[in-house]
């Protein structure tokens, strides 16, 4: 296969080769991806992608696929206050990007988004989001989003939020009657816009049908004292200007109803419960209410739909059992992806990333548990497959470990699925130190594939167990229980049973088992030691929840307060399930990490745990990363986290 070299790629690989003698595992695994968010231009002649700038920032590059072309920087965000989240072509010479940032007030931290457009060479930068002024009744946190691209004209169909103001006597003023979410057709070159859906104060989202016509609208349920209810109502219309009619209602807490995810032509595609699991369902937009089950997994939920091409047509269904699967409904694409998977080989999961407007040129991604990923270009007419860019060049040539699907018994006999990653070259973990690493969420699950955190610890000599404990999503209603907070006793019990299985089966040394977790996983790590202080010998908790009542109170300034409160629940389980209120039951060393601009889990959660551990005389340390959010998406911070946590664990588990 031919390799297409770019200036960025050559620099990255040369740098990796030159520093090979000084290779540092924490630096290599902690580095952010070299490239992400890749997209093909409509004519298939150029690619755009995001690459790191400094330790936190991102640069949007565009690259002509003509021989000898070099990548051109088009847009930069330094990561200090705002980041580039997503960029995509809206014409052969123009792109639209989402900027994500945060604002801290006296009371709370709030995220904001802005949509901008820029030429491929970095010129003609324009704000696509609405502006606010000194007369506006409030701030504009949500900058809107692009619903559909119209590459022939460089225009987009875009959701935009109308904020009323009292700037009377001008043509730019709005009134309260005009507030709410609307849809505009926006010329990204000039900023000129035409409203195609007038502002609706109750609308939460719009769904176009792939031809520029909005056919489905999400409307939030009735508010209680200004707070959102969990139910969302969905309305549809039969044509471009038809009246809105009831389609469905969806409640994510109870997983009841029908949740639309895509509209293509005259059908809406979404998820609905079937026999305790989420199935892929489609419905015609004709008012009959008839539905067709497209796919229902065997013992697992359908996660969503595979969408493809500039018009984002539905081509398949996605779900995960032991492995991530795509059940293609498009026969042509199914046959093509099967052939490409054979051509790339090596046990890789091959996925289409993007395509030209005519779908004759494709951008592909291939990765596995032992390969962080490679991007390929495929020309269907020339029948030519070319290696394009490597996702993580610092890990090129580094021996990584298989992520093996396993099951272990809980104390009640239930078989708990998960993954076991052993150090490179090891067939078993006998005598090795081990880490149990519960995932975040809790409404999430681990899946097979490259995991930089698990692979780092395996590379450093630890066996890593990632349990999909009860309370994880993806396994149906029965497995989800009430959720990982209200049913924390079951979830934490499964995590502890995972450690006991490692010890009892001889998979790992029982005197050298630690627990490491991020977000809910950090909560689970701490709470596991509260429940049973004798199983884990050390705890690493990254951005953890530590007080369930505090978690509810932190959401009070936001409209989802009642949703969060209902999700966490009330009763004895709240205090009993809060590690910061039970720190005296923890008898092993603790290492905490947290960013002080974390909107998902406020840093006060870790600070409260820090104070509680100090009062209980538990050996511990809190490491704070200024200016970073929940993901700690900073190469320097992640390197520091890996180096510190490895040294901490090594001192206890490998004395």
Q: pLDDT confidence of 19, banded at 50, 70, 90?
A: very low
Percent of residues, the chain, with pLDDT higher than 70: 91
pTM: 0.92
For 271, list phi and psi in degrees, rounded to 5.
-115, 145
At residue 6, the pLDDT reads: 37
CA 588 centroid distance within chain: 32
For residue 435, give Cα distances in angstroms to 57, 67, 395, 416, 585. 32, 48, 22, 17, 21
d(CA 73, CA 61): 4
Dist. CA 200–CA 156, nearest whole Å? 20
Contact 308/361 with Cβ under 8 angstroms? no
Q: Is the pLDDT of residue 139 over 60?
A: no
How confident is residue 137, by pLDDT bands cut at 50, 70 and 90?
very low
Contact 245, 237 (CB under 8 A): yes
pLDDT tier for residue 5 given thresholds of 50, 70 and 90: very low
Phi, psi of 431 (to 5 degrees): 85, -5
% helix, strand, coil for the chain, step of 5: 20, 40, 40
pLDDT-derived band at 175, boundaries 50, 70, 90: very low
What is the rounded CA–CA span in Å between residue 172 and residue 513?
63
- pLDDT of 8 > 70? The answer is no
pLDDT digits (tens, 9 = 90+) for 27-64: 999 999 999 999 999 999 999 999 999 888 999 999 99
Give the C-alpha distances (Å, rounded to integers) separating 168 from 135, 136, 251: 9, 11, 41
> How is residue 436 written in tokens?
């149990």
Q: What SS3 string covers 211-260? A: CCCEEEEEEECCCECCECCCCEEEEECCCCCCCCEEEEEEECCCCEECEE
| Higher-scoring residue by pLDDT: 137, 58 | 58
pLDDT, residue 3, reads 32
Element holding 563 (H helix, E strand): helix 561-568
Q: Which of these ranges, 252-256, 528-532, 647-651, has the smallest mean pLDDT?
A: 252-256
Q: Could you give phi then psi for residue 499, rounded to 5 degrees?
A: -65, -40
DSSP state of 69: -
pLDDT digits 0-9 by tens, 441-485: 999 999 999 999 999 999 999 999 999 999 999 999 999 999 999
Q: Average of pLDDT values for 270-283?
A: 96
pLDDT average, residue stretch 314-334: 95
pLDDT at 354 over 90: yes
At residue 164, does pLDDT exceed 80?
no
**Which pLDDT value is given to residue 461?**
95
- Other CB atoms within a 10 A radius of the CB of residue 225 amount to 6
Residues of the chain with pLDDT > 90, as a percent, come to 76
For the chain, the distance separating the N- and C-terminal CA atoms, rounded to the nearest angstrom, is 47
How many angstroms separate the CA atoms of 618 and 625, rounded? 22
Q: Give the tens place of pLDDT for each residue, 483-505.
A: 999 999 999 999 999 999 999 98
Render pLDDT for 586-622 as a digit per residue (tens, 0 to 9): 999 999 999 999 989 999 999 999 999 999 999 999 9
The CA dihedral of 443, 446, 449, 454, to the nearest 10 degrees, is 120
Instruction: Tell me what pLDDT residue 437 has.
Output: 98
Nearest to 271 by CA among 241, 253, 294, 254: 294
DSSP string, 31-65: SPPS-EEEEE-TTSSEEEEEEEETTTEEEEEEEE-
pLDDT of residue 229: 82
Which contacts of 412-415 are long-range, i.e. CB under 8 A and separated by 24 or more positions?
Answer: 414/470, 414/494
d(CA 573, CA 609): 18
Give the CA angle between residues 50, 53, 55 to the nearest 5°. Answer: 120
Note the pLDDT of residue 528: 98
Query: Distance between CA atoms of 339 and 337, rounded to whole angstroms?
Result: 5
- Would you tell me the crossing angle of helices 635-653 and 452-459 to the nearest 10 degrees? 40
By the 8 A CB rule, do 591 and 620 touch? yes
Q: Is the pLDDT of residue 10 over 80?
A: no
| Alpha-carbon gap, residue 529 to 583, rounded angstroms | 9
pLDDT of 12 strictly over 50: no
Mean pLDDT over each residue of the chain, to the nearest integer: 90
Burial 67-77 (b: 16+ CB within 10 A, else e): eeeebbebbeb
């Amino acid at each position: 296969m031919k390799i297409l070299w770019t200036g960025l790629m050559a620099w990255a690989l040369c740098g990796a080769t030159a520093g090979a003698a000084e290779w540092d595992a924490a630096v290599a695994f902690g580095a952010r991806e070299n490239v992400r968010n890749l997209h093909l231009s409509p004519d298939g002649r150029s690619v755009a992608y995001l690459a790191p700038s400094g330790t936190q920032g991102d640069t949007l590059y565009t690259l002509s696929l003509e021989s000898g072309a070099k990548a051109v920087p088009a847009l930069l965000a330094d990561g200090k206050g705002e980041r580039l989240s997503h960029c995509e072509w809206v014409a052969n010479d123009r792109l639209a990007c989402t900027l994500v940032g945060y604002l801290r007030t006296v009371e709370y931290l709030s995220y904001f988004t802005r949509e901008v457009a820029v030429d491929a060479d970095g010129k003609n930068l324009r704000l696509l989001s609405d502006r606010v002024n000194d007369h506006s009744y409030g701030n504009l946190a949500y900058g809107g989003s692009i619903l559909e691209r119209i590459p022939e004209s460089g225009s987009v169909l875009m959701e935009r939020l109308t904020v009323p103001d009292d700037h009377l006597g001008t043509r730019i003023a709005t009134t309260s009657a005009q507030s709410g979410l609307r849809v505009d057709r926006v010329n990204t070159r000039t900023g000129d816009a035409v409203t195609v859906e007038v502002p609706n104060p109750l609308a939460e989202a719009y769904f176009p049908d792939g031809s520029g016509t909005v056919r489905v609208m999400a409307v939030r349920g009735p508010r209680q004292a200004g707070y959102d209810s969990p139910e969302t109502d969905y309305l549809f219309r039969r044509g471009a200007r038809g009246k809105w009619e009831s389609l469905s209602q969806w409640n994510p807490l109870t997983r009841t109803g029908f949740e639309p995810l895509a509209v293509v032509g005259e059908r809406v595609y979404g998820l609905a419960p079937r026999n305790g699991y989420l199935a892929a369902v489609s419905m015609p937009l004709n008012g009959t209410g008839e539905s067709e089950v497209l796919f229902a997994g065997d013992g697992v939920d359908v996660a969503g739909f595979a969408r493809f091409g500039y018009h984002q047509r539905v081509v398949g269904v996605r779900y995960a059992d032991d492995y991530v699967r795509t059940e293609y409904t498009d026969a042509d694409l199914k046959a093509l992806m099967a052939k490409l998977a054979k051509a790339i080989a090596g046990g890789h999961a091959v996925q289409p990333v993007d395509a030209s407007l005519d779908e004759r040129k494709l951008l592909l991604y291939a990765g596995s548990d032992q390969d962080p990923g490679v991007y390929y270009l495929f020309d269907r007419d020339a029948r030519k497959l070319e290696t394009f860019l490597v996702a993580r060049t610092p890990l090129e040539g580094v021996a990584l470990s298989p992520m093996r699907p396993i099951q272990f018994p809980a104390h009640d006999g239930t078989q708990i699925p998960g993954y076991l990653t052993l150090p490179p070259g090891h067939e078993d973990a006998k005598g090795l130190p081990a880490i149990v690493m519960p995932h975040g969420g809790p409404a999430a699950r681990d899946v097979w594939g490259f995991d930089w955190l698990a692979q780092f610890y395996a590379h450093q000599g630890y066996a890593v167990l990632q349990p999909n404990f009860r309370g994880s999503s993806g396994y149906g209603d029965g497995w989800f229980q009430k959720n990982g907070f209200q049913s924390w006793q079951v979830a934490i019990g499964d995590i502890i049973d995972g450690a006991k299985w490692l010890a009892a089966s001889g998979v790992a040394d029982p005197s050298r088992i630690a627990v490491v977790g991020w977000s809910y996983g950090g909560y689970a790590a701490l709470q596991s030691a509260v429940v049973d202080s004798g199983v884990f010998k050390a705890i690493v908790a990254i951005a953890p929840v530590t007080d369930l009542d505090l978690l509810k109170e932190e959401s009070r300034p936001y409209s989802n307060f009642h949703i969060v409160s209902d999700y966490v629940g009330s009763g004895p389980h709240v205090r009993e399930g809060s590690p910061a209120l039970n720190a005296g039951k923890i008898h092993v060393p603790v290492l905490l990490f947290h960013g002080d601009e974390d909107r998902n889990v406020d840093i006060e959660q870790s600070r409260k745990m820090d104070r509680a551990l100090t009062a209980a005389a538990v050996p511990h340390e809190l490491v704070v990363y200024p200016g970073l959010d929940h993901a700690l998406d900073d190469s320097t911070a992640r390197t520091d986290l890996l180096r510190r946590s490895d040294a901490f664990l090594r001192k206890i588990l490998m004395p």
